[in-house]
A and B are shown apart, each in its own frame.
Chain A
Amino acid sequence: MTDICKKSLTELVRLIKKKEIKSEEITQSFIKNINNDKKLNTFITNCSEEALNKAKNFDKSPKLDTLLPGVPIAVKDLFCTEGVKTTAGSKMLENFVPNYESTITNNLWNEGAFLLGKLNCDEYAMGSSNETSYFGNVTNPIAENTVPGGSSGGSASALAADLTPATIGTDTGGSIRQPASFTGTVGLKPTYGLCSRWGIVAFASSLDQAGPMTKTVEDCSLMLEAMASFDKKDSTSINKKKENYSKNLTDNIKGLKIGIPKEYRVDSMPNEIDKLWENGKNLLKDSGAEIVDISLPNTKYALPTYYIVAPAEASSNLARYDGVKYGFRSTKGNNLIEMYENTRSEGFGDEVKRRILIGTYVLSSGYYDAYYIKAQKVRQLIKNDFDQSFKKVDAILTPSTPNSAFKIGEKKDDPISMYLNDIFTVPVNLAGLPAISIPAGTDNNNYPLGLQLIGKPLHEQKLLNIAYATEKKINFKQHLNRWWEK
């Protein structure tokens, strides 16, 4: 089987369960692809050898009654993995080896999967192009010199380039959905609290959420099923019964109401994206859904709100990196304070420092009310907008991003234009909602573009069903010429 790596996760699991393929054969195939990925720079840590041993052990006595039996999976390097370096894309954690396993990865391993490697990402997940990583930028497999999006850029690129059958990312303001859109893959940000945050390197704790990144919606439902769990170790984990998302997946969405928010039509948006959105509406109508015009009036305030709340939480979370208990320590400085200041100056990259400074400022004495409290008030208004709309509709359809993948370096020196990339994804995080990006077409350059579906809290099943029905109608196919292997 030459095309093992092109198969969907669901198909690989089916073949393993029918004993038509061995875990070792699958793992070997992915390792072969990974060894050719130098130009993409997707992996920070390669675990090929250990993965091969795990595959062989699995094949000796296969345990088949799990969701992901014998499947190798590479994960974003933001998830702590016991005994395996976890860097968060930062010099600060370049040599950090956790002695514990994150709940999410642990859930995957309990379902029969094992670790293939750790994937590149923006430093501390702060970025929209994977250019802020200490380990170098990642390239999008769709074309040379294009960014994969971020912050889960390594995850999205590795998935699109067939280097892992599925992967996981984290999404604080769009870090799963925007790279999914840029690489022609599927990415889901679950409801805040559905997937445990325990053992994930923290960025902005009231917004961070882990989620699956896959080639198909069906794979996405399978991965979410494996990931989601109540976790006592995460104080914001929601205590609810596990759902069988993959078993209950259906494309029957007759009678569901889909909202179209007029505020998501922004001036600078290319025509192609407008067309794609229109097409999405028509396809949903064909599937029996009803299209309803809605308004989310405070949409334009979501990004400014995000750029207060997220840096504020980041400045607090990242205060722990002081060069004492773990991580990098500077050798410069004559006393404790200077050691702190030099450690943080040398250990963090420019974007991370920028956000820590913004966060420190908006939380500082005299400015806290004007910025932070103001932002939390507007956040309430943004949440109210969604609450009102969800009285009328089951889900909301929008574009995932205002543009397709851009060139490496194109937006690097202009933070605002970089931040604007997340204009359609950020409101979802502020309101704690689930949302999925699915590939929906291409632009003039033949670069992929995504559509986003936003759901009610904990209505992941309905969201997946709508995405599944849409995916079937769109029938998106991506052909990569694998330029990076030449």
Chain B
Amino acid sequence: MSIDKDKIKHISKLARISVDEKKIDGLAKDLSSIFKFIEQLNELNTDKVEPLTSILNEPLRSRKDEVTDGKIREKILENSPQKNEEFFVVPKVIE
């Protein structure tokens, strides 16, 4: 499949990445060649194959639902780009 400009705009919207208008053509070319490469898989008939869901031979473990950590608010907030006392700060979302 070839990936055109509109498709790039749509995907970048979904991925929440703004794409520079000047870079869209190059990106479309790169992604088109990658998808051409990926689509080799269509040569294979996989109608009777179950998709792999885990490469581990054992089932996933479950654990007790209990609190094992916490009370580290100060530490967590240290890495925040913008904070206000005990809160993360983001641009206004409610008018």
The answer to whether B50 touches A380 (Cβ under 8 A) is: yes
Instruction: From B40, B53, B72, B91, give the contact of A300 (CB < 8 A).
Output: B40
The answer to whether B90 touches A324 (Cβ under 8 A) is: yes
* Residues in A whose Cβ lies below 8 Å from that of B56: 192-193, 236, 238, 432
The answer to whether A315 touches B15 (Cβ under 8 A) is: yes
Stretch at the interface among A59-67, A275-283, A356-364: A356-364
Interface string of B36-63 (1 = CB under 8 A from A): 0111111010100111111111101101
* Residues in A whose Cβ lies below 8 Å from that of B82: 329
Q: Does B25 contact A (CB under 8 A)?
A: no
* Residues in A whose Cβ lies below 8 Å from that of B80: 324-326
Query: Roughly how many angstroms separate A307 CA and B37 CA in the complex, as a whole number?
Result: 9
Q: Does A322 contact B (CB under 8 A)?
A: yes
Residue of B nearest to A348 (CB): B17
Taking the closest CB of chain B, its distance from the CB of A307, in whole angstroms, is 6
The answer to whether A416 touches B90 (Cβ under 8 A) is: no
Query: Roughly how many angstroms separate A430 CA and B52 CA in the complex, as a whole number?
Result: 10
Query: Roughly how many angstroms separate A333 CA and B17 CA in the complex, as a whole number?
Result: 12
**Tally of contacts, chain A with chain B, CB under 8 A:** 156
* Residues in B whose Cβ lies below 8 Å from that of A380: 49-52
Q: Given A238-B58, A323-B81, A360-B14 in contact, is the A354-B19 Cβ separation under 8 Å?
A: no
The answer to whether A376 touches B53 (Cβ under 8 A) is: yes
Q: Given A301-B40, A335-B92, A357-B15 in contact, is the A373-B51 Cβ separation under 8 Å?
A: yes
Stretch at the interface among A35-43, A166-174, A338-346, A389-397: A338-346
The answer to whether B79 touches A325 (Cβ under 8 A) is: yes
Taking the closest CB of chain B, its distance from the CB of A470, in whole angstroms, is 27
Q: Does B67 contact A (CB under 8 A)?
A: no
* Residues in B whose Cβ lies below 8 Å from that of A288: none
Q: Is the interface of A mostly helix, strand, loop or mixed?
A: helix
Residue of A nearest to B39 (CB): A304
Q: Does A371 contact B (CB under 8 A)?
A: yes
The answer to whether B19 touches A345 (Cβ under 8 A) is: yes
Query: Roughly how many angstroms separate A192 CA and B52 CA in the complex, as a whole number?
Result: 15
Query: Roughly how many angstroms separate A373 CA and B81 CA in the complex, as a whole number?
Result: 38
Taking the closest CB of chain B, its distance from the CB of A288, in whole angstroms, is 30
The answer to whether B18 touches A415 (Cβ under 8 A) is: no
The answer to whether A325 touches B16 (Cβ under 8 A) is: no
- Interfacial residues of chain B within 73-90, with CB under 8 A of chain A in the complex: 75-76, 78-82, 88, 90
The answer to whether B93 touches A335 (Cβ under 8 A) is: yes
Instruction: From A193, A325, A358, A375, give the contact of B34 (CB < 8 A).
Output: A358
Q: Does B2 contact A (CB under 8 A)?
A: no
Query: Roughly how many angstroms separate A162 CA and B49 CA in the complex, as a whole number?
Result: 48
The answer to whether A431 touches B55 (Cβ under 8 A) is: yes
Query: Roughly how many angstroms separate A305 CA and B41 CA in the complex, as a whole number?
Result: 7
Query: Roughly how many angstroms separate A325 CA and B80 CA in the complex, as a whole number?
Result: 5
The answer to whether B18 touches A345 (Cβ under 8 A) is: yes
Residue of A nearest to B42 (CB): A374
Taking the closest CB of chain A, its distance from the CB of B78, in whole angstroms, is 7
Q: Given A341-B18, A357-B12 in contact, is the A96-B79 Cβ separation under 8 Å?
A: yes
Given contacts A338-B91, A376-B52, A379-B52, 20 further A-B contacts (CB under 8 A): A97-B78, A99-B75, A235-B61, A303-B37, A307-B38, A315-B15, A324-B81, A325-B76, A335-B91, A339-B91, A357-B11, A357-B31, A360-B15, A364-B11, A371-B38, A377-B51, A379-B51, A380-B51, A381-B49, A430-B55
Interface residue ranges, A against B (CB under 8 Å): 96-97, 99, 192-193, 206, 232, 235-236, 238-239, 298, 300-301, 303-305, 307-308, 315, 319, 322-329, 333-342, 344-345, 348, 353-354, 356-358, 360-361, 364, 371, 373-381, 383, 415-416, 419, 430-432, 457
Interface residue ranges, B against A (CB under 8 Å): 3, 7-8, 11-12, 14-20, 27, 30-31, 33-35, 37-42, 44, 46, 49-58, 60-61, 63, 72, 75-76, 78-82, 88, 90-93
Q: List 24 A-B contacts (CB under 8 A).
A: A99-B78, A99-B79, A300-B40, A301-B40, A304-B38, A323-B81, A324-B81, A326-B81, A327-B79, A342-B18, A345-B19, A348-B17, A353-B17, A353-B19, A357-B11, A364-B11, A364-B14, A376-B53, A377-B46, A377-B50, A380-B49, A383-B52, A383-B55, A415-B30
